[in-house]
Amino acid sequence: MVERVDAYLVAGGKYHDIDFARRELLDLLAEHEHVRVTVGSNWDDIDALTSSAFVVSYTCDVRPSEASQHAMRAWVEGGGRWVALHGTNTALDLPRPNGVESPRCFPTWVDTLGSQFIAHPKIAPYPVRLSDPDHWLVAGVDEFETDDELYLMEYPDRGALQPLLHTTYSGEAPGFEEDDWTTGDETHLVQYVRPFGTGAVLYNTLGHCRGHFDMVPLKDYHPTIDRCSWEKPEYYELLRRAIRWALGETA
């Protein structure tokens, strides 16, 4: 008999079609009939989060309290597995005269996740490359091109991360205060594992999505529906493997 596994999905935030992402992730989680999922939109339910076998998150500018930051850090360090997607590592201040600011307001959060989003160039196609082709989380997945936000990030300790996917970029990030990315390392991580204690975080930056009404209050109507990497079968394969990883599978 397969035992029940309790998971927690955090799906919430700004400027994204959270309803779409939540539904897609719940469908993927439902492929495992023994997984029961609690859904929240923020990091406030500390007891439920830290009593879960694993956590999946898809957020944007959902800033955890100090208590939540330390609770999640301790949970991962004690063996928790956390699949963190897209904007989980974002804090955005806008509008600002010089563009969108990414305040360094939650260093504990960033250290646990392994990165903080700073900016992205305009959405345009870019290649996703395999950093570790032999790792089971990406082995056999064809390198692919995606039309998505290319995350430009800071890493508290990049050497502590296990890169799985990457891309390269050197250029501008129009609309962001920190818009000059013409110097420094041109390799930007797309997916990595951040081991921590006896647990780990699996971070994947892909998966931007936005509908007509997701830019309120900045504007009432967004003219397009953006699905980005959600239109790529490779992305769904990566997500399926991530959930298997969260369940403790190793191959």
Predicted TM-score of the model (pTM)? 0.98
State the residue for tokens 């990091």. 43
CA distance 223 to 95: 20
Position 137 scores a pLDDT of: 98
* Domain boundary assignment for the chain: 5-94+104-118+150-163+189-246
pLDDT in tens, 200-230: 999 999 999 999 999 999 999 999 999 999 9
Position 209 scores a pLDDT of: 98
pLDDT in tens, 30-68: 999 999 999 999 999 999 999 999 999 999 999 999 999
The CB-side HSE value for 92 (13 A sphere, CA atoms) comes to 20
User: What architecture is the 5-94+104-118+150-163+189-246 domain classified under in CATH?
Assistant: 3-Layer(aba) Sandwich (3.40)
Per-residue b or e along 92-112, where b marks 16 or more CB atoms closer than 10 Å to that residue's CB:
beeeeeebbbbeeebeebbbb
Least Cα distance to 130 among 237, 218, 250 occurs for 237
In one-letter notation, the amino acid at residue 16 is H
Position 38 scores a pLDDT of: 98
Instruction: Give the chain's residues under pLDDT 50.
Output: none
Position 2 scores a pLDDT of: 86
Position 188 scores a pLDDT of: 98
Q: What is the DSSP letter of 210?
A: B
Output the average pLDDT for the chain. 97
Position 73 scores a pLDDT of: 98
As given in the structure block, the two tokens for residue 164 are 């799985």
Long-range CB pairs of 91-97 (<8 Å, 24+ gap) are 91/61, 91/63, 91/116, 92/14, 92/15, 92/60, 92/61, 94/218, 95/218, 96/177
